[in-house]
């Protein structure tokens, strides 16, 4: 379990005050602006500034070695915003083929763009723009997904190096085969994110309701629960899910609403956390997202909705604090901090 006092240590040293209250002089640093993509449709992606994505991108924009598996209807890898090797070909459990880089339904292409569309392509930007995408097809051209296909897809992604799995599908029925697949992936250090569902009410949706899955509900532009979102104490976190602009079919762009898109945002956040500190286990990553990416509950709504505004920067600052304080973790060459992140780490180490 992470200690919030680690963040307090960082804040104290950034403002030149020690924990005992005495003044401490630090160097006068030049501050750089938060990274703002120049992609054409970024200005339409209202959710990214709202969740402090630009500030988070100053810490990390992801790592190609971190794979976000999109278990969906496929991903259109010919889309200009997703081409050039961005999408890894997985397996098609609907047609029993290796064709996963096309998408007749469009849902998977939208999810991929929200989670990890790269910057600099002139279109939209994903939450984890430098992470890789693995396409695993578990839904047909009508968007219909069977438990058996999803279970096989989960195991496939876990066995092929996925660090994060996004599942924007759900059912009211608890299937042991699906539950076993989730636990199989969890035991292999995979972070599993799933949408809570678009039926207002507190009924459980699977796989989101499983203990080893991060269940995501949706909020609107004002951080209120979306009119369609599921809710309940079983929800782990919420994220924007209304009017989300992303990649669409045939090289175009689309906007949509739903907890599907909220889950994709959290999958992107999981990719950022795993990129900032690849030493964290899936349990630690999930803890950061559940407990440090926003405040539990919002005034007037209660913890039943978990509607506090998502804060990517806050989550990554906690990730950095864990890196700096945990002296038992060995240096991993895959960890790629920018200068600001390294500076924060040095400050915390100096305080120890």
- The mean per-residue pLDDT over the stretch 147-164 comes to 97
Taking CA 139 as the corner, what is the angle to CA 167 and CA 229, rounded to the nearest 5 degrees? 45
Residue 115 has pLDDT above 80, yes or no: yes
Residue 301 has pLDDT above 50, yes or no: no
Alpha carbons 199 and 203: distance in angstroms, whole number: 8
The pLDDT assigned to 311 comes to 93
Domains, the chain, ordered by start = 37-319 (3.40.50.200)
Catalytic choice (58, 63, 72, 147): 72
The pLDDT assigned to 339 comes to 36
* Contact (CB, 8 A) for 131 and 87: no
Percent residues over pLDDT 90 in the chain: 73
Structural Rg of the chain based on CA atoms: 20
Residue 81 has pLDDT above 90, yes or no: yes
- The mean per-residue pLDDT over the stretch 136-140 comes to 97
To the query of whether residue 98 is one of the catalytic residues in this protein, the response is no
pLDDT tens sequence across 104-114: 999 999 999 99
pLDDT tens sequence across 222-235: 999 999 999 999 99
Residue 135 has pLDDT above 50, yes or no: yes
**36-60 residues labelled b (16+ CB within 10 A) or e (exposed):** ebebebbebbebbeebbbbbbbbbb
Residue 15 has pLDDT above 50, yes or no: no
pLDDT tens sequence across 251-298: 999 999 999 999 999 999 999 999 999 999 999 999 999 988 875 444
* Contact (CB, 8 A) for 211 and 187: no
Q: Is the pTM of this model over 0.75?
A: yes
The pLDDT assigned to 351 comes to 37
Alpha carbons 278 and 257: distance in angstroms, whole number: 32
Alpha carbons 41 and 254: distance in angstroms, whole number: 11
As given in the structure block, the two tokens for residue 324 are 């700096």
To the query of whether residue 311 is one of the catalytic residues in this protein, the response is no
The pLDDT assigned to 321 comes to 84
As given in the structure block, the two tokens for residue 255 are 């906007």
The pLDDT assigned to 89 comes to 97
Q: Given pLDDT bands bounded at 50, 70 and 90, which one contains residue 79? A: very high
The pLDDT assigned to 39 comes to 74
Catalytic choice (47, 79, 107, 231): 107
Residue 248 has pLDDT above 70, yes or no: yes
Catalytic choice (132, 217, 260, 275): 260
| Strand pairing class (191-195; 164-167) | parallel
Residue 136 has pLDDT above 70, yes or no: yes
CA atoms within 13 A on the CB side of 271: 37
Alpha helices in the chain (DSSP H): 5-14, 47-50, 53-57, 107-116, 147-159, 176-187, 259-276, 282-292, 312-325, 339-351
The pLDDT assigned to 337 comes to 32
Mean pLDDT of the chain: 83
As given in the structure block, the two tokens for residue 44 are 């339409």
Q: Reduced to 3 states, what is the DSSP secondary structure of residue 321?
A: helix
- The mean per-residue pLDDT over the stretch 61-75 comes to 98
The pLDDT assigned to 307 comes to 55
Sequence-separated (6 or more) residues with CB below 8 Å from residue 92: 74, 98, 99, 100, 137
Q: Reduced to 3 states, what is the DSSP secondary structure of residue 23?
A: strand
Alpha carbons 190 and 188: distance in angstroms, whole number: 6
As given in the structure block, the two tokens for residue 180 are 């076993």
pLDDT tens sequence across 189-225: 999 999 999 999 999 999 999 999 999 999 999 999 9
Burial class of residue 340 in the structure, from the number of CB atoms within 10 Å of its CB (0-12 exposed, 13-18 middle, 19+ buried): middle
Alpha carbons 349 and 351: distance in angstroms, whole number: 5
Q: Given pLDDT bands bounded at 50, 70 and 90, which one contains residue 326? A: low
To the query of whether residue 107 is one of the catalytic residues in this protein, the response is yes
């Amino acid at each position: 379990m992470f200690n919030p006092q680690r963040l307090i240590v960082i804040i104290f040293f950034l403002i030149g005050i020690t924990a005992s209250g005495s003044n401490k002089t630090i160097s006068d640093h030049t501050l750089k602006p938060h990274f703002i993509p120049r992609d054409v449709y970024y200005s339409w992606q209202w959710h990214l500034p709202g969740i402090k994505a630009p500030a988070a991108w100053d810490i990390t924009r992801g790592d190609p070695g971190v794979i976000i598996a999109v278990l969906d209807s496929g991903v259109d890898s010919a889309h200009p915003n997703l081409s050039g090797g961005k999408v890894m070909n997985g397996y098609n459990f609907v047609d029993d083929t290796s064709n996963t880089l096309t998408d007749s339904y469009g849902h998977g292409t939208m999810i991929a763009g929200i989670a990890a569309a790269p910057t600099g392509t002139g279109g939209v930007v994903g939450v984890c723009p430098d992470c890789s995408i693995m396409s695993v097809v578990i839904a047909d051209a009508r968007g219909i997904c069977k438990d058996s296909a999803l279970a096989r897809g989960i195991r496939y992604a876990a066995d092929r190096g996925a660090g994060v799995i996004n599942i924007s599908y759900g059912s009211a029925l608890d299937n042991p085969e699906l539950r076993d697949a989730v636990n199989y992936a969890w035991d292999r250090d995979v972070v599993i994110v799933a949408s809570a569902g678009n039926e207002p009410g507190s009924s459980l949706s699977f796989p989101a309701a499983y203990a080893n899955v991060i269940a995501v509900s949706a909020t609107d532009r004002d951080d209120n629960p979306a009119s369609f979102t599921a809710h309940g104490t079983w929800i782990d976190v919420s994220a924007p899910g209304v009017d989300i602009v992303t990649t669409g079919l045939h090289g175009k762009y689309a906007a949509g609403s739903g907890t599907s898109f909220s889950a994709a945002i959290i999958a992107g956040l999981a990719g950022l956390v795993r990129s900032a500190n690849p030493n964290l286990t899936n349990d630690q990553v999930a803890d950061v997202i559940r407990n440090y990416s926003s405040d539990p509950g919002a005034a007037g709504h209660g913890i039943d909705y978990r509607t506090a505004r998502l804060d990517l920067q806050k989550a990554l600052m906690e990730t950095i604090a864990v890196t700096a304080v945990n002296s038992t973790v060995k240096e991993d060459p895959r960890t790629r901090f920018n200068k600001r992140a390294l500076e924060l780490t040095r400050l915390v180490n100096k305080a120890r």
